[in-house]
Amino acid sequence: MAEVGCLKDAHFQNLHVEGNNIITDPISGVADPSATGTSTALTVGSGLAFRRRIITLGSGDDDNVLTLTKDDSGSLIYVTPTNILGIVLPLVGNDTGIWFDIIIAANANKAFTIKTSGQDGADNISVMNQLTAATGTTTTTVDVGGTDHDILTFTNSLVGSRIEIFNAAGGAAEKWHAYIRSFSEISGTIA
């Protein structure tokens, strides 16, 4: 019997792991994609089949709030902010690397906010906006904020606009970085 952490070169048919599973779906048994045409070249490597968790959130009445947990990290959040809607990010602690991908599901005419869990003025969200005003015209704006910019607001956004938000530092002064691709001239702002 090997000591914990000393197992090397093992092969398993069925492995039961308790706690948080990181690897969930091996690619064996998954059908390979196919290619057709006169001169196609297709290479399919080994790896993991991976699907992201989708969280769909409608706004219903005003002032609905989704509070995320660390276990939701990596999820795609599909939101319909047709009324006031907010997301509260999880408390990071020492578990840095938490991230979320948010896609606007319908044209929005209300405020959509993303807040850090503490709301104590110690956290910071920086934002980079990529704005598409017309076909072929893209403008980029950046706001690195201060040490107390812990609310990101994205109002009147268009369907398909996307926010990717990543955590790089935890503790008492969390650092979050947001990247917004807006299908209009609407920018995300921080305060």
Domains of the chain by residue range:
54-190
Predicted confidence at residue 80, as pLDDT, reads 81
Q: How confident is the model at residue 6 (pLDDT cuts 50, 70, 90)?
A: low
Q: Which residue from 117, 74, 72, 108 is spatially nearest to 188, judged by alpha carbons?
A: 108
User: Fold for domain 54-190?
Assistant: Jelly Rolls (2.60.120)
Q: Which residue from 177, 168, 174, 171 is spatially nearest to 93, judged by alpha carbons?
A: 171
According to DSSP, the β-strands at 54-58 and 162-169 are: unpaired
> Taking all residues of the chain, what is their mean pLDDT, rounded to a whole number?
78
Question: For residue 144, what are its two tokens?
Answer: 């690195």
According to DSSP, the β-strands at 162-169 and 124-134 are: unpaired
Q: How confident is the model at residue 168 (pLDDT cuts 50, 70, 90)?
A: very high
pTM: 0.74
More confident residue, 43 or 177: 177
Q: Is 147 exposed, middle or buried (0-12, 13-18, 19+ CB in 10 A)?
A: exposed
